[in-house]
Amino acid sequence: MIGVFDSGSGGLTVLREIHSLLPHTPVLYFGDLKNAPYGSRSPEELGVLTVQGFKKLSDQGATLIVSACNSASANIVVPLFEGLCIRPENIIEMVGPTIKAFAEKKNKKILLVATEATIRSGVYQQAFHGIGGAIQTLALPHLARAIEEKTSAPAVLAMISEALAPYNGSYDTLILACTHFPLVEEVFKRSVPEGVEIFDPAEGVAKEVVGHYRGQGSGKLQFLISKDSDFFRAKVAEFFGNSDYTIDVVS
Ligand code: DGL
């Protein structure tokens, strides 16, 4: 079984891609809504929460874990891999597949938007430097929470377009390096200058999962959340309404 981990509803954008490529593979998803948002947490806090989340998934039978959270991937998973000089076959994170997608497109003028924790980690900046590219980065510190809290569309539009405005003309590609952000991709489209490409890493991450997972099964989706949320339930129904799924609130 595949395990997918995020602070809340953001990882659903990654699961959507995984499920479309592997519709018969059972997935256990953990959204840690009680401790969200992760993007304003320290690396120490993210370390504890990520280990707890991964353990919850593996204790219940997940054999391949997807860190569908950039804040956890950039602060914990990648530094741990780099520090130990290992690439575990059974953990997929967000940064590597994103960098891979741009390895042949170094001349792009990239603006990467993410949480504060992801930008502060410096992992994306270093990784793009490593492939001979450069990026501008912009933290959108309140956006993931605003999305979870169903903030009105005009308020989200103002939040995004005001933050992006000073960068207009300086980028041709916008990377959504927070898995919550594709939930408002339409708003991003309205906020960027014409011709700017918006890149969601989810598809590349899902392809990485396909390359690593060797199971089959019922295709059942089991969602665990540490706090109940109407927004989460609505997004699951929207994305996976035609699939067999359950949602349980766990401690
Ligand atoms: N979706 C997560 C990310 O990609 C976490 C966002 C948050 O909880 O702040 O970083």
pLDDT digits (tens, 9 = 90+) for 207-219: 999 999 877 788 8
85 classed as catalytic: no
Counting Cβ atoms within 10 Å, is residue 184 exposed (0-12), middle (13-18) or buried (19+)?
buried
Mean pLDDT across 163-190? 98
Of the pLDDT bands very low, low, confident and very high (cuts 50, 70, 90), residue 88 is: confident
Q: How many angstroms is it from 144 CA to the middle of ligand 1?
A: 6
- What is the spatial distance between Cα 69 and Cα 142, in angstroms, rounded to a whole number? 16
Q: Which residue lies with its CA nearest to atom 2 of ligand 1? A: 69
Model pTM?
A: 0.96
Q: Are 251 and 228 in contact (CB under 8 A)?
A: no
What amino acid occupies position 78? V
Bridge partners of residue 28, in order along the sequence: 3, 222
Q: How many angstroms is it from 71 CA to the middle of ligand 1?
A: 6
Question: Which residues surround ligand 1 with Cβ inside 6 Å?
Answer: 6-7, 10, 36-39, 69-71, 115, 118, 144, 178-180
